[in-house]
Structure 1
Amino acid sequence: MKKSLLASAGLLLLGSTLLLGVPVSGAYAEDAGAAVRDQAPAAVPTAFVQLSGPSLASPGETFAVSVSLSGATGSATAGKFVFEYDPSSFDYISAAAGNPEVSIAGVNAESGKLTIVATDADGSLTDAGAVLALTFKAKAAGDISGINGYVELGADDGSVVQTPEQSLAVQIAGSAPGDLNGNSVIDVGDLSVLLKYFGIDASDANWGSAAIGDFNKNNAIDLADLAALGKKVLYDNGQPFQLMEADIMSIQNAMAAGKLTSVELVQMYLDRIHEYDDDLHSLISINPDALQIAKAMDDERQEKGPRGLLHGIPIIVKDNYDTLGLKTTAGCKCLDDNQTVSDAFMVKKLKDAGAIILAKANLSEFAINTDTLSSLGGQTKDPYDLTKNPGGSSGGTGSSLAANFAAAGLGTDTGGSIRIPSSWNSIVGIRPTIGLTSRDGIIPLALSQDVGGPMARTVADAAILLDAVSGYDPNDIATAGSVGKKPASYTRYLDKNGLKGARIGLVLDSSVAGSNQEVLGLLNKAADDMRAQGATVVGVNIPNVADILKYPSLSGYEFKFNLNEYLSNTRFVDPAAIRNHSLTDIIAGNEFLTSLTNTLNTRNGIESLDTQEYKDILLFRTRLTQQSLLGLMADNSLDAILYPSTTGPTGGSSGSANRLSPFSGFPAISLPAGFVASGLPVGIELLGRPYDEGELIKLGYAYEQATHNRKAPELFPALPVPAK
């Protein structure tokens, strides 16, 4: 009977472990684990993982890997298996029990790493023959030596043995719910003990030892308790959740382990905003419904499981993205009545993925400049030096993320507006290929150059956001070009060995790289760091670069027409609710930065785009830039082109290199490169071919993992943890 219950429990546990947020709390008996410790020691199990499968896999081939234990001695009823593989060579597809005696209690699949908890309640995993059956798909030719396995085994007396290659135990501070073997560690030994007590209740003589495993406090050891403990073994790092610099995966793991809820997470970020944003002025508005939405996301997680990696994750978006329930102002007092009637396409995609729009970020008014100064939001400051501006125009997003006000965010980029503040706030910013993300519902500056993209503290988080917000939108015809060019997931490119064999072109021309010696020193160090990771870095000069950089941005021509079209589009705005319906109205109302007076009047004076001057810029500038960059990459067999994101540190010169991406429409990623002597951050930029965001993510991730250049600003430390 016990075996049949647990055979079905294997399926239920898998669903529960991945989908149900069972609270990690429960009754605690002072003598918990005592009975286990007093038992005579069983034979200690030992074993090594044995993998068998094809000697060679062809690209695109799906193949099976059988997992068994070799050199096994003693008995083991639970095991935690860890498999590491090169994500550039293999994709993990699925896992199943290797025979009917084995049940899978949980699976955690990450890029390059797979963790599985398996049990054999009546027998022993060491006697089970094939324990697991894994399925992978080959991305590039390679043999099975590219998949390595390690195991930690637990006997039913609570003893644990680990293979010498890697420790998989989860260290915790003192005793905690689930520590049934009393070793101050949550491990598969605890799961083995709980399996032994499965089905007993508070009337049983062994309840004193089992009670610490009663997570749902119903005075019985049932499937929910097994699921809760299995979840802790899979996800719990044994430490309290740390908000500072938390990435999306660590947040999701904390939620899966039951240590954190979306409500708690949102409140933590709100506490930081309330404590620190009076100094930064990074935000224009805060979502009053954020906690209510977080509660709904927590309830959904409990009932149905998470929608994906963004479920319950707080995001900050630049205040030129239409967002239902919040005003969309572009930083201008003239639009403080713009309660939009729909979400921007990218915002809707975030919400569909389960993300919570926590706040709207300040920006350079209408996204025109690079200082993040607006009539509505004031002057945003840089968290590394409050006397400096954070760059722009997406400086509010950059400043708030650097100060840990949210998990990640969205910016827009017309000339450098994602990458400049990313550089000056020591974060990651991706300007996608024009057409990968929709501009629908974003207050425009120049649609021939505008694009929205992710900003985050890590490359992985930027990749997760890009997965969610990219794709075809019939309301932005440019996105039709992305059909068939977007991968299944950009997270597949998160390869710490991604620089190995890559070929990078380091721009030498001072008109692109600048002349600041500290910035150039960090640029050259980045090149050396890439070489150390197996890349070939060669010096290059961009053909025709002087002619390319002579061209102006098209925002001076297109702004009036694009803005007027937005303000008259009833899919975005409620005409009866806004007082300004055109740039002419805005100028007449005089509710904008006085420093923009000449700029707005000049742009409002453009009578038509049907001029030879405009057409020449649009056609010849784009063609010259694209041909020059593609020719350079082809002639030198380059995977990417490297240069500084900005030619000066925070508050200095942004330079002209940031024009290469918008003038060509090609993608670029800005990465933290370190700090100059004064403590101000600097970023480097990698530019790639159209729709080659995956390659840039791969190169950027490998560089990030090798250097870990980002450091949180010391002016905005962690808040004291409130007493519970």
Structure 2
Amino acid sequence: MIRNPLVFLLLLVTLLGCKTSEPAEPIDVTELTISEIHDAYKSGTFTAQQLTKAYLERIALLDSNTNALTTINPEALDIAKQLDAEFEKTGVLRPLQGIPIIVKDNINTEGMPTTAGSLALADYFPEEDAPIIKKLKQAGAIVLAKSNMAEWAFSPMHSESSTHGTTRNPYNLDYVPAGSSGGTGASVASNFGTAGLGTDTGNSIRGPSSHNALVGFRTTLGLISRTGIVPLYLRNDVVGPMCRTVEDATRVMEVMVGVDPEDPITEHSRGKTYTDYRQFLVKDGLKGARIGVLRELSEHEVDPEIKALFEQALLDLDSLGAEIVDPFDVPGFDTLRQDQWCATFKKDLEHFLATYVKRDTIQTLEDIVRIGTKSEFAKQRLSSQKDHDGRWGDSDVPCGDAYHDIKRIAFRKAMENAMDSLKLDAVVYPSWNNKPAHIDKFQEEYRGDNNQVISPHTGQPAFTVPMGYTSGNLPAGIQFLGRMYAEPVLIKLAYSYEQGTHHRKPPKL
């Protein structure tokens, strides 16, 4: 049975109230892509209502394995019905029309709880959608469910919340799906929805994507609005797609891009974006590309199986037409990467509470600590955040975002100058140098997380793509790092690699 009674109840009510006609053939939702779904809508193979019902039935059958979801949208089928009626009337499909998506439980979604996995926000229902959710809905997407996460997005290691417990990796249930967007990772990998959203402060899109054989886009800081999202460190936070294919991730990302007056950092993207990113889905996009190998992130404390997969990935990149520059060295890299983290959780969270939650009883971090948590890990992190403010480490340089913090600017300039000197299109390294950890040993086995090192601090985009599996059927990913606002380049390279290797396969639930 489903462990979460709320999910079970909503599923039961939704499915019992469903009066959709049955498709001519049962819908196999496994690995369905956005383009395939839209082709089916156009041909009359099935409708949005029928597809949504098929996903809900799959969730009811299989989510007890992973505990990936927290809340089912009780209006999902009604929304699908409206979208079907619209398509029947207009004959035109909006960019994401009838596409069921999974949304991480720290993103404001009207009519659904947004808990960030915490007891303090367990009954917080936002009055309106976050701007990115508005954009997705305007594009025709159906918010199908919210996903479990590491409480307050604290953990890159695992996805445990006070509200819904621990999420498991669908490829091997004894292992973590990483954090903090592990619920999105596990649910999209399990084909509980067509696409998903995660947030990434240091790892939390790319880690779960790597651990769950998904494509994860951490885009340039400033490309997409973060308004209406429970923050961890807003100076780092990015929201982005977690999907089974590069094309689907590109389609979801494309809809969310744009300047948001409520999120001033997006002003930096003005004049640097595209309305059509799908034009960069070029199958032979690796031909003639120059790719650097950052050995600082692929040589030290690397699991032999991950090492073998990465070396094979380099051979694959070469065979697909890329010129491999190995090694790619950045002068002063080890020094530049130091003292980049700043604790801004208290300030950022209290601003969110005042702006959206608006309760006298929950105004400060001290209130959150008073309300408490069921997670020992979250308890330790809350205590740490309460007692520390400012930069971690020895530096006394003032904290700022990637556009104003002199340490971050110096790190980015060093990376991009080194890339320019070698005329590189991108840099690659393993997303993790080690396998996923066992759930019951997640802290002692946590190592090899390369996601935290560069892009969260420099602001640069970094995409992870499946590169194969280690023993135990555990996925691994390769990461492509680009210059600021170089999403077109990364889409081209990641898509070409994906199409040339086809590593993604669904878990055997």
2:437 maps to 1:648:
no
What letter is aligned with 1:476?
D
Paired residue secondary structure (1:269): helix
What letter is aligned with 2:380?
N
2:364 maps to 1:582:
yes
- Give the equivalent residue in structure 1 for 2:292: 505
Which of residues 178, 198, 202 in structure 2 aligns to 1:411? 198
Q: CA deviation at 1:694?
A: 1.1
What letter is aligned with 1:324?
E
Contact 2:119 2:372 in 1 (8 A): no
Q: Which ranges of structure 1 fall in alignment gaps of 5 or more residues? A: 1-22, 26-175, 177-238, 717-724
Which of residues 468, 486, 496 in structure 2 aligns to 1:702? 496
What letter is aligned with 1:457?
R
Q: Deviations over 1:99-151 (max 9, x none)?
A: xxxxxxxxxxxxxxxxxxxxxxxxxxxxxxxxxxxxxxxxxxxxxxxxxxxxx
2:449 maps to 1:667:
no
Q: CA deviation at 1:654?
A: 4.0
Contact 2:117 2:149 in 1 (8 A): yes
Q: Deviations over 1:273-315 (max 9, x none)?
A: 1111112011111111111111111111111234423101100
Q: CA deviation at 1:542?
A: 2.9
What letter is aligned with 1:575?
R
Q: How does 1:404-553 map to 2 (within 5 A)?
A: 404-510=191-297, 514-539=301-326, 540-553=328-341
Size of the aligned set, in residue pairs, is 474
2:400 maps to 1:613:
no
Q: Deviations over 1:72-94 (max 9, x none)?
A: xxxxxxxxxxxxxxxxxxxxxxx
Q: How does 1:11-410 map to 2 (within 5 A)?
A: 242-370=28-156, 371-410=158-197
What letter is aligned with 1:549?
R
Rounded to whole Å, the distance in 1 between the matches of 2:389 and 2:428 is 39
Q: CA deviation at 1:550?
A: 2.7
Contact 2:298 2:429 in 1 (8 A): no
Q: CA deviation at 1:621?
A: 2.8
* CA shift in 2, pair 1:558/1:467, >3 Å: same
Contact 1:321 1:441 in 2 (8 A): yes
Q: CA deviation at 1:606?
A: 4.0
Contact 2:340 2:457 in 1 (8 A): no
- Give the equivalent residue in structure 2 for 1:222: none
Rounded to whole Å, the distance in 2 between the matches of 1:263 and 1:639 is 43
Contact 2:27 2:54 in 1 (8 A): no
Q: Deviations over 1:622-655 (max 9, x none)?
A: 0232022111111111000000011112225342
* CA shift in 2, pair 1:479/1:633, >3 Å: same
Q: CA deviation at 1:491?
A: 0.7
Rounded to whole Å, the distance in 1 between the matches of 2:205 and 2:80 is 27
Which of residues 542, 560, 564 in structure 1 aligns to 2:346? 560
Rounded to whole Å, the distance in 2 between the matches of 1:415 and 1:287 is 29
TM value normalised by structure 1: 0.63
2:375 maps to 1:593:
yes
Rounded to whole Å, the distance in 2 between the matches of 1:513 and 1:406 is 37
Which of residues 603, 607, 617 in structure 1 aligns to 2:385? 603
- Give the equivalent residue in structure 2 for 1:79: none
Paired residue secondary structure (1:455): strand
Q: CA deviation at 1:588?
A: 1.2
Rounded to whole Å, the distance in 2 between the matches of 1:542 and 1:663 is 16
Paired residue secondary structure (2:149): coil
2:422 maps to 1:636:
yes
Q: Deviations over 1:462-505 (max 9, x none)?
A: 00001111111111111111111111211111110100110000
What letter is aligned with 1:377?
H
* CA shift in 2, pair 1:511/1:645, >3 Å: closer
What letter is aligned with 1:670?
T
Rounded to whole Å, the distance in 1 between the matches of 2:64 and 2:243 is 22
Q: Deviations over 1:567-592 (max 9, x none)?
A: 001xx33537xx42221111112245
What letter is aligned with 1:673?
M
Rounded to whole Å, the distance in 2 between the matches of 1:305 and 1:378 is 44
2:361 maps to 1:573:
no
Contact 2:306 2:435 in 1 (8 A): yes
Higher normalized contact order (CA 8 Å, seq sep 6+, divided by chain length)? 2
Give 1 or 2 for the bigger CA radius of gyration. 1
* CA shift in 2, pair 1:502/1:707, >3 Å: same
Rounded to whole Å, the distance in 1 between the matches of 2:22 and 2:386 is 60
Rounded to whole Å, the distance in 2 between the matches of 1:306 and 1:359 is 26
What letter is aligned with 1:243?
V
Paired residue secondary structure (1:392): coil
Q: Deviations over 1:496-538 (max 9, x none)?
A: 0100110000112257764222111111111111111111011
Paired residue secondary structure (1:520): helix
What letter is aligned with 2:382?
L
- Give the equivalent residue in structure 1 for 2:18: none
Contact 1:315 1:355 in 2 (8 A): yes
Contact 1:454 1:466 in 2 (8 A): yes
- Give the equivalent residue in structure 1 for 2:9: none
Contact 1:307 1:353 in 2 (8 A): no
Contact 1:640 1:686 in 2 (8 A): yes
Rounded to whole Å, the distance in 1 between the matches of 2:48 and 2:430 is 37
- Give the equivalent residue in structure 2 for 1:123: none
Paired residue secondary structure (2:103): strand
Contact 1:383 1:402 in 2 (8 A): yes
What letter is aligned with 2:357?
V
Contact 1:504 1:638 in 2 (8 A): yes
* CA shift in 2, pair 1:623/1:387, >3 Å: same
What letter is aligned with 1:417?
S
Paired residue secondary structure (1:604): helix
Q: Which ranges of structure 2 fall in alignment gaps of 5 or more residues? A: 1-20, 438-445
Rounded to whole Å, the distance in 1 between the matches of 2:268 and 2:205 is 22
Contact 1:391 1:420 in 2 (8 A): yes
Q: CA deviation at 1:548?
A: 3.1
Paired residue secondary structure (1:411): strand
What letter is aligned with 1:444?
P
Rounded to whole Å, the distance in 2 between the matches of 1:417 and 1:614 is 26
Rounded to whole Å, the distance in 2 between the matches of 1:487 and 1:596 is 39
Rounded to whole Å, the distance in 1 between the matches of 2:303 and 2:330 is 20
Rounded to whole Å, the distance in 2 between the matches of 1:646 and 1:510 is 9
Rounded to whole Å, the distance in 1 between the matches of 2:297 and 2:133 is 39
TM value normalised by structure 2: 0.89
Rounded to whole Å, the distance in 1 between the matches of 2:65 and 2:200 is 25
Rounded to whole Å, the distance in 1 between the matches of 2:136 and 2:227 is 14
